[in-house]
Structure 1
Amino acid sequence: MLEEASECFLKMRKFRVFPKPRSCNALLHRLSKVGRGDLSRKFFKDMGAAGIKRSVFTYNIMIDYLCKEGDLEMARSLFTQMKEAGFTPDIVTYNSLIDGHGKLGLLDECICIFEQMKDADCDPDVITYNALINCFCKFERMPKAFEFLHEMKANGLKPNVVTYSTFIDAFCKEGMLQEAIKFFVDMRRVALTPNEFTYTSLIDANCKAGNLAEALKLVEEILQAGIKLNVVTYTALLDGLCEEGRMKEAEEVFRAMLNAGVAPNQETYTALVHGFIKAKEMEYAKDILKEMKEKCIKPDLLLYGTILWGLCNESRLEEAKLLIGEIKESGINTNAVIYTTLMDAYFKSGQATEALTLLEEMLDLGLIATEVTYCALIDGLCKSGLVQEAMHHFGRMSEIGLQPNVAVYTALVDGLCKNNCFEVAKKLFDEMLDKGMMPDKIAYTALIDGNMKHGNLQEALNLRDRMIEIGMELDLHAYTALIWGLSHSGQVQKARNLLDEMIGKGVLPDEVVYMCLIKKYYALGKVDEALELQNEMAKRGMITGLSDHAVPSVQT
């Protein structure tokens, strides 16, 4: 219909019969609102060519449209043309330009236009200030946004629902939920009614903060107010329920969403897929993917990556490999995260050759390996006994501009200790300290274990003391290494004291810990002490057999 109207105009122009400017403006306005930019631009030119008098309203329609489309160069050109034609820009003109520049983060230009506006004796209104507040909040310049709020009030303008909702949303996105709630309370105090945007921001923030009960209260409140939930609100709620593993309730909300006629989007389906995978309901997650495709909603890399992660966690590697093929066929470019996830899964399943093949494939595609990639690679190689290859890749990191982080060092230190390369592991541990890195619990535990196995009891105990000094609590693995080492060196009483200490600190010993002490007690002829520990194991429901196969890793 709009195209026909435009063609009709051209025919009228041919016969030198022209509609009134008001009718032309109405058509131009309609074309811009329905997104027919090509026709809008052409019609604007045709109006000028036909000699139809343009007005401030005509220019405002085009400037607003161009700003919304992000064509600021043309918008500024029309602004200049408008003034040269003798028209005075009004508040609508300036507001469109401020909003257009603000949405693209051109904040300095926003302020310049704002100052030009005031110099032209065009008084800013609530819409002006809301546009400024919105863009400065969006691009994390909250102090400046507050300056505009104070200026707005000083000029006798009252903040409206949009003003409050913009600040509430900004606080929510910054994780400043309490500040958002203060604004929400103040908003009601001045008799302003929150809208769906206000509620959605708060519901989403509460869900992300783990305050699901508060989010559900807000949902109840929004429904009582007669405000319909939109797709963003439903998605935020679904995401919160899925994060807490409340999948039955999530499914109920999803059905309610469909019954309300709200169409799920990609983010909605991604939240559900993530929830089902966390709940180890992989088949349900795959059904969701199938449903998306049936509804012609194209999955993005994030959703595919979530499903890939789920498949890898269940060691369904062939399916994961096929999924990568599907990602490529759909025209989506894979990234290092996708390949790293699958490579790590192959290493964990003991398929080092396939993992390295994936690494080569990733590099052939021009994808750049990250610190996470190298961490998975080095850890996988070490656990596969390929420590020399792990050292080679560790050395390559600095060559390609990557600095090994704590996770990379830890993986290598742990791997070297487990593969009898203890001296190299010690050097790397010291290198970490020299670089100002804080070794984590795994690195300390690996070195304690290595020292114990090499008979360096005092060094191991010094590392234990260092862990305690820096506030790092010993876990089961650290206690196991210490108790095994002390028992093996004949210091059984110290080992037993450590067992009592770990239990006192709430760290429950496993069968390996008990058996290394029990075997040593028997070897020393201390049957009563051994039986006491066996009884303790029985009370905890553990296996009490003393055969070698019960604890194959324990040597006496």
Structure 2
Amino acid sequence: MAPPLLRLHASFLCSLAIALLRAGRLSAASHLLSSLPASSSPPAPLLRRLIPALASSGLAAAAIRFHPADPVSLNAVLYSYCRLRLLRPAIALLRSSRPTTVAYNLLLAGLSDNAHARLAPAVLAEMCKRGLPFDGVTVNTLLAALCRNGQVDAAAGLADMLLLHRGAGMDAIGWNTLIAGYCRVGDTPTALSVADRMTAQGLPMDVVGYNTLVAGFCRAGEVDAARGMLDMMKEAGVDPNVATYTPFIVYYCRTKGVEEAFDLYEGMVRNGVLPDVVTLSALVAGLCRDGRFSEAYALFREMDKVGAAPNHVTYCTLIDSLAKAGRGKESLSLLGEMVSRGVVMDLVTYTALMDWSGKQSKTDEVKDKLHFALSDNLSPNGVTYTVLIDTLCKAGNVDEAEQVLLEMEEKSISPNVVTFSSVINGFVKRGLLDKATEYKRMMKERGINPNVVTYGTLIDGFFKFQGQDAALEVYHDMLCEGVEVNKFIVDSLVHGLRRNGKIEEAMALFKDMSGSGLSLDHVNYTTLIDGLFKAGDMPTAFKFGQELMDRNMLPDAVVYNVFINCLCMLGKFKEAKSFLTEMRNMGLKPDQSTYNTMIVSHCRKGETAKALKLLHEMKMSSIKPNLITYNTLVAGLFGTGAVEKAKYLLNEMVLAGFVPSSLTHRRVLQACSQSRRLDVILDIHEWMMNAGLHADITIYNTLLQVLCYHGMTRKATVVLEEMLGSGIAPDTITFNALILGHCKSSHLDNAFATYAQMLHQNISPNIATFNTLLGGLESFGRIGEAGIVLIEMEKSGLEPNNLTYDILVTGHGKQSNKVEAMRLYCEMVGKGFVPKVSTYNALISDFTKAGMMTQAKELFKDMQKRGVHPTSCTYDILSRFEILCLSGSYLVIVKMVHDPAVETFSYLCGLDHRIIGGTVGGVLITAELFRFVATIGNFPVHVFVFEWIKNELAERTSAILFTSLWPIQGYCTKHLPSQGKKRWLIACRKGCKASDRRAELGLVLDSGF
């Protein structure tokens, strides 16, 4: 091809590339130019158009290929490199060419924008070395670079050098740059002195200089000085503009309130100064800060009408505020609008949305938003990474959080105290206190001092996992480090002490902190009041509630919720309702927590009708039920057998946008189990799966546990096959459920076969596995085979626990293996375990059957000494074998009738005819027994009297009536029911005397007898 033709071809390709670049088709333009032969040389005028087009499109590397020689092309490529933050290629290009002053000015501007201002003096020195003159733009650019990097003194030194040594003057832009630099670092006095030097040089202050000083004073909180500057500005004949008023508006919104800001705004508009997007964005932010979201949104919508379209700051402010206020749906809607309008999102917006998703425990969404930020060429900062780390730690993914922390350090992004505190919180939640302490040490080594949040988190963790002494040691370490106690620490200490049963110590600490001048808040009082209620100390709880009000801290909704919750727990629903009424009278709105508390209490008592009434009241008050509300009600309805109502509520829950959770699934299936509605268990499970319940190992284990508890092993096997078909592998809980199911369905051999299968699949058994097998052996009288199970337990490195010993002792007791039962009993108590009452009953029963009364009585005493309360069954065992009456003592009976844990009526009905007939212990002891019975309430003594009459023991009947029952009020009546009259006639025929109607005392019969 001839050279002219080649040149023509190159010109055509270059023209086409320019057209493609203008159309935004960058990849097509780049591909087209790559096909251009290296030997071709487009005309210089065309290159002067092509190179800037490539550079402005970000294709600086492609532009370099054409060796930009003329100043315009060279400057275009330099500008492109600087804009893309490619400073090394920019410097290399500058040094390999013949640049002008403009080229160096562009490089200086690039250094300033990319936080490399420290290199600016060296570039200026190189410029001087190459003999290039610097102009006002050079000086101003250099000053801006240094000031932006915080090197204001260096900038001032440079200005002095230029003025004194080089005789170069500075224009207003340079002086204003210095003023802005000092204002930015908060040094307003020096900024004012620079302004004085400027006027001394013969340059009057312009509107930019005045505005800079006004903004600096407002930012420093010196609003009076800012007003003085405004007055000086007017006196100098400089008219204020929107940039003058905006700093005042921003200051008022942040400190004195939005009303003053709006007063100034209205005055500004009256003076003919129209607001811009910055002014209106500041007002939107102020309204959001006050929680006035409706007004903020209305002003946001007015911005377009006044010609100040919302920018990314306005959108980000509103999105961030709505997200933090928990109004995520509205913030996401604004985000969609922002994207559709082409408003570029910044890192603040992404971080705010990540934070909102994190607070909703949506870890995947947080990661997605970070990915979107990266795809928009936004580099995450420390705050962004901290949000991600905090979300991961709260979700329990501490290992992944550690990896993110390493990534931060690799990118030279320094973690701060919040970052480390989040990681420490993650380890504390998992009980890994050693790791948490290690991170605290790491913080201190890096010069980051742990704050009250760090120490409060550690105190909480040590209280929970290592006890009071360890937690208080952390507290003392905190004091030694000079960290002052605040409300957060007090709350951690009070909460920890009361959780450990030390409510008195918690109260003493609370009083000490309050007396030392520390200002305690609602949260502190609420924590203590809640602890006092749960400790049963209602009077003191109310006393602290009164103290709260005496300190002019009116109770908020949380305080009322604590009172309502605790009263409901104590069964005092009327009092709880009165608190609800008082809460409304105080102008406080009950929230979801308030109603959920009362609904939970009613459902716990089986009062589902009252709970549903509260749900209706809740809806009428425009309070939306949440997942807790629905979970509680649905479980409560299934628990009472109201299946259709429960299904209706489940449908309502799904229509309200709630997906059944694993908690919903577990509570509902357990409720069906308790009400023995086994017919609906599988149907409900399937319904929840169709409603969006995510099937995982937890869901299947819950279903298997419920089915196996009732011995429904065939259905459980079908569920297991479905689970395996879904690719979900069984775990220890799965096999434990199946073993229990086989034990419950009387297939003990299948239970042991399942255990063998468990080992074959390399799934480790736990203590519950072995206890279930032992329980099966005990139930079928095969406790003699327990040794095999105990050997397996030992192989697994497990020790018997309280339940293990209860099963073994009970099993051997039932089989009359007294020696082995007592050996195990002694071993059990020697290890500090306390036997259950059923274990004692089995031992006492075994000894009484053998007539070993002394040993039985010793066990009975030991039982009470260890704080185990006898039940009616215990007393029945003793009375049945005549221990009490043979000894001529009824003291144990006296203890029994005053024991709230014993059902007196059921016990006395089981005394049988040995005592009723007076054959043991005689009439006097029997009379005394009835005297004690009568003192505790209207017990139907007539049952026994009639038995005596039937057995022709009339004389003994009269003796009982006259010696025991006559002095007791409430047993005498002149009007007997018809059944009573018939029995009275029988009594008379049998020899009872009716002279003074005293015999009626023993014949008070209820109509149902």
- TM range, smaller chain: 0.7 to 0.9
**Distance in 1 (alpha carbons) for counterparts of 2:456 and 2:139:** 58
- Which of 260, 281, 286 aligns to 1:165? It is 281
Q: Secondary structure at the match of 2:303?
A: helix
- Which of 281, 301, 321 aligns to 2:397? It is 281
Q: Secondary structure at the match of 2:676?
A: helix
Q: Deviations over 1:495-553 (max 9, x none)?
A: x8x68745765766999xx9xxxxxxxxxxxxxxxxxx9997324988899x978xx99
In the alignment, structure 1 residue 3 sits paired with structure 2 residue 121: yes
Q: Deviations over 1:285-308 (max 9, x none)?
A: 333223222222121112222222
Deviation for aligned residue 1:113: 0.7
In the alignment, structure 1 residue 45 sits paired with structure 2 residue 160: yes
Q: Which runs of 5+ in 2 are unaligned?
A: 1-118, 584-593, 616-631, 640-670, 682-705, 711-743, 745-835, 839-867, 870-899, 903-1009
Q: Which runs of 5+ in 1 are unaligned?
A: 12-17, 453-459, 484-495, 515-532
Which residue does 1:376 correspond to in 2? 492
**Distance in 2 (alpha carbons) for counterparts of 1:34 and 1:390:** 51
Which residue does 1:121 correspond to in 2? 237
Which residue does 1:470 correspond to in 2? 582
In 2 relative to 1, CA 242–49 (structure 1 residues): closer, same or farther, beyond 3 Å? same
**Distance in 2 (alpha carbons) for counterparts of 1:321 and 1:393:** 25
Deviation for aligned residue 1:262: 1.0
| TM-score where L is the length of structure 2 | 0.44
Q: Secondary structure at the match of 1:77?
A: helix
In 2 relative to 1, CA 405–480 (structure 1 residues): closer, same or farther, beyond 3 Å? farther
Which residue does 2:206 correspond to in 1? 90
The answer to whether the Cα contact below 8 Å between 2:175 and 2:194 also exists between their aligned partners in 1 is yes
Amino acid at match of 1:75: A
In the alignment, structure 1 residue 331 sits paired with structure 2 residue 331: no
- Which of 650, 675, 680 aligns to 1:537? It is 675
Amino acid at match of 1:284: E
In 2 relative to 1, CA 327–430 (structure 1 residues): closer, same or farther, beyond 3 Å? same
- Which of 420, 430, 438 aligns to 2:543? It is 430
The answer to whether the Cα contact below 8 Å between 2:250 and 2:282 also exists between their aligned partners in 1 is yes
Give matches, 1:404-423, under 5 Å.
408=524, 422=537
Q: Deviations over 1:11-33 (max 9, x none)?
A: 9xxxxxx9877875665556545
Which residue does 2:334 correspond to in 1? 218
Q: Which deviates further from its counterpart, 113-122 or 402-411?
A: 402-411
In 2 relative to 1, CA 444–403 (structure 1 residues): closer, same or farther, beyond 3 Å? farther
In 2 relative to 1, CA 53–282 (structure 1 residues): closer, same or farther, beyond 3 Å? closer
Deviation for aligned residue 1:478: 6.2
Give matches, 1:17-416, under 5 Å.
28=143, 31-32=146-147, 35-50=150-165, 52-53=168-169, 56-349=172-465, 351-402=467-518, 408=524
**Distance in 2 (alpha carbons) for counterparts of 1:96 and 1:288:** 40
Q: Deviations over 1:18-74 (max 9, x none)?
A: 987787566555654565423321122234434555554553343233223322111
The answer to whether the Cα contact below 8 Å between 1:203 and 1:215 also exists between their aligned partners in 2 is yes
The answer to whether the Cα contact below 8 Å between 2:526 and 2:562 also exists between their aligned partners in 1 is yes
Q: Secondary structure at the match of 1:436?
A: helix
The answer to whether the Cα contact below 8 Å between 1:60 and 1:92 also exists between their aligned partners in 2 is yes
**Distance in 1 (alpha carbons) for counterparts of 2:169 and 2:520:** 68
Amino acid at match of 1:3: P
Which residue does 1:486 correspond to in 2? none
**Distance in 2 (alpha carbons) for counterparts of 1:146 and 1:36:** 37
**Distance in 1 (alpha carbons) for counterparts of 2:141 and 2:395:** 55
Q: Secondary structure at the match of 1:538?
A: coil
Q: Secondary structure at the match of 1:470?
A: helix
In 2 relative to 1, CA 123–312 (structure 1 residues): closer, same or farther, beyond 3 Å? same
**Distance in 1 (alpha carbons) for counterparts of 2:398 and 2:533:** 37
**Distance in 2 (alpha carbons) for counterparts of 1:508 and 1:271:** 35
Which residue does 1:493 correspond to in 2? none
Q: Deviations over 1:79-115 (max 9, x none)?
A: 2334445543221221121121122222121111111
Amino acid at match of 1:436: M
In 2 relative to 1, CA 382–150 (structure 1 residues): closer, same or farther, beyond 3 Å? closer
The answer to whether the Cα contact below 8 Å between 2:560 and 2:579 also exists between their aligned partners in 1 is no
Q: Deviations over 1:437-481 (max 9, x none)?
A: 65655567668878x9xxxxxxx6885565455357664886799
| TM-score where L is the length of structure 1 | 0.76
Paired positions, count:
504
In 2 relative to 1, CA 61–251 (structure 1 residues): closer, same or farther, beyond 3 Å? closer
In 2 relative to 1, CA 164–463 (structure 1 residues): closer, same or farther, beyond 3 Å? closer
Which residue does 1:455 correspond to in 2? none
**Distance in 2 (alpha carbons) for counterparts of 1:252 and 1:204:** 17
**Distance in 2 (alpha carbons) for counterparts of 1:110 and 1:255:** 43
In 2 relative to 1, CA 413–46 (structure 1 residues): closer, same or farther, beyond 3 Å? closer
Report the identity percentage.
27
Which residue does 2:30 correspond to in 1? none
**Distance in 1 (alpha carbons) for counterparts of 2:440 and 2:261:** 45
Amino acid at match of 1:426: P
In 2 relative to 1, CA 109–382 (structure 1 residues): closer, same or farther, beyond 3 Å? same
Give matches, 1:498-509, under 5 Å.
501=610, 505=614
The answer to whether the Cα contact below 8 Å between 1:378 and 1:390 also exists between their aligned partners in 2 is yes
Which residue does 1:530 correspond to in 2? none
The answer to whether the Cα contact below 8 Å between 1:195 and 1:227 also exists between their aligned partners in 2 is yes
In 2 relative to 1, CA 320–143 (structure 1 residues): closer, same or farther, beyond 3 Å? same
**Distance in 2 (alpha carbons) for counterparts of 1:260 and 1:499:** 54
Deviation for aligned residue 1:337: 2.2
